[in-house]
Amino acid sequence: MSATSVLYDAPGKAAKRRNVIYTVVFLVLFALAAWWILSVMADKNQLAAEKWSPFVKDSKVWTTYLLPGLGETLKAAALAIVIALPLGALLGIGRLSDHAWVRVPVGAVVEFFRAIPVLMMMIFASALYVQFSNVSSDLRPLYAVVTGLVLYNSSVIAEVVRAGILTLPRGQTDAAKAIGMRKGQTMGYVLLPQAVTAMLPALVSQLVVIVKDTALGGAVLGFADLLSQKDTIPANYGANTIATIVVLALIYIALNFALTSFAGWLEKRLRGSKKSTGAVLGADDADQANAPGAPANASGV
């Protein structure tokens, strides 16, 4: 805030008047837009009380649809993160290997899975399970979603881990060598523990990406997650599509906003403390790692 508020002086008389005018103009435009949308909604009978009241009056809409859906979403996200974290750490360390025969293939795998849309991997995984496994058809959507998420996110996490290790000063490795540690010990006792602290905020904000991506399964693969309730609730409560979508959005926003805020709080706290010698990878660095070809080391190196 301090850096941007320097763009303008403390408002004087004329500026204050102008700001009031902008505020009023914006309010009028905003009110017009809101009124227009509400009147269209009223036209299509989407504002009627019975379309919205089930969400506050009928507990069944929560116990039968919303909460089980949220449960499936969280289950898929939790499974994906639990599998992707160690896998991503391994891939990230593999990419830093001294041996080209480890480094190059791992790099190719990471770049490949970052370049492919996660939806395609889910569709592919779903077809794989149909052909080459006997996973029951009720479980298949969950398996496909988790597989797609793991393939994609482990390669993103690999980049975050690599960036985290690269932000550490060279002296850490040198010191470890000087006291006679082997490469594995250097990584396990010296580099990784510090890197993990540095990349915590980036990892937490990657969780938001995972939670959002589970919704793909609900829309395309028939996964019974929170988003798929967009069909079941309007079917049972009288075509209240808009009310349902608004409620679903509010649940996702509340969940992800909590995670985003937590990542921001963590970043601030870690930057303040002196526990790690390297730079802290912020929430934005996870966004960087989501794009193929781009190194996720915006800060630090």
Partner 1 sequence: MFDFLDSGQYDLLGAFWVTVQLTLYSAVGSLIWGTLLAGMRVSPVPLLRTFGTGYVNVVRNTPLTLVLVGCSLGLGQTLQFTLGGQDFKSIGFRLAVLGLVAYTSTFVCESIRSGINTVPVGQAEAARALGLSFRQVLTLIILPQAFRSVVAPLANVLIALTKNTTVAAAIGVAEASALMKKMIENESSALFAVFAVFAFGFIVLTLPTGLLLGWVSKRVAVKR
Q: Among residues 103, 241, 262, 299, which is the contact residue for partner 1, using CB under 8 A?
A: 241
DSSP state for residue 278 in the 8-state scheme: S
Q: Among residues 195, 227, 263, 270, which is the contact residue for partner 1, using CB under 8 A?
A: 227
For position 124 contacting partner 1 by CB under 8 A, the verdict is yes
For position 14 contacting partner 1 by CB under 8 A, the verdict is no
For position 291 contacting partner 1 by CB under 8 A, the verdict is yes
For position 299 contacting partner 1 by CB under 8 A, the verdict is no
285-to-80, 163, 232, 236, 298 alpha-carbon distances in Å: 20, 9, 37, 43, 7
Q: Do 253 and 145 form a contact (C-beta atoms < 8 A)?
A: no
What is the smallest separation between the CB atom of 58 and partner 1, expressed in angstroms? 21
Burial of 121 (0-12, 13-18, 19+ CB in 10 A): buried
Please, which residue, 74 or 284, has the CB nearer to partner 1?
A: 284
What is the smallest separation between the CB atom of 152 and partner 1, expressed in angstroms? 10
Question: Beta strands of the chain (E only): which ranges?
Answer: none
For position 220 contacting partner 1 by CB under 8 A, the verdict is yes
Cα separation, 256 vs 88, whole angstroms: 22
Q: What is the DSSP string of 195-261?
A: HHHHHHHHHHHHHHHHHHHHHHIIIII---STTTHHHHHHHHTTS-HHHHHHHHHHHHHHHHHHHHH
What is the smallest separation between the CB atom of 228 and partner 1, expressed in angstroms? 10
Amino acid at 104: V
User: In the range 40-99, which residues lie near partner 1 by CB under 8 A?
Assistant: 40-41, 44, 46
Q: Among residues 172, 256, 264, 299, which is the contact residue for partner 1, using CB under 8 A?
A: 256
User: In the range 194-213, which residues lie near partner 1 by CB under 8 A?
Assistant: 208, 211-213
For position 188 contacting partner 1 by CB under 8 A, the verdict is no
By CB under 8 A, the count of residues binding partner 1 is 63
Q: How far apart are the first and last CA of the chain?
A: 25
For position 26 contacting partner 1 by CB under 8 A, the verdict is yes
201-to-59, 80, 268 alpha-carbon distances in Å: 36, 18, 9
Binding interface with partner 1 (CB under 8 A): 3-4, 6-9, 11, 15, 19, 22-23, 26-27, 30, 40-41, 44, 46, 112, 115-120, 123-124, 127-128, 130-131, 208, 211-216, 218-220, 227, 230, 239, 241-242, 245, 248-249, 252-253, 256-257, 260, 284, 287-288, 290-294, 298
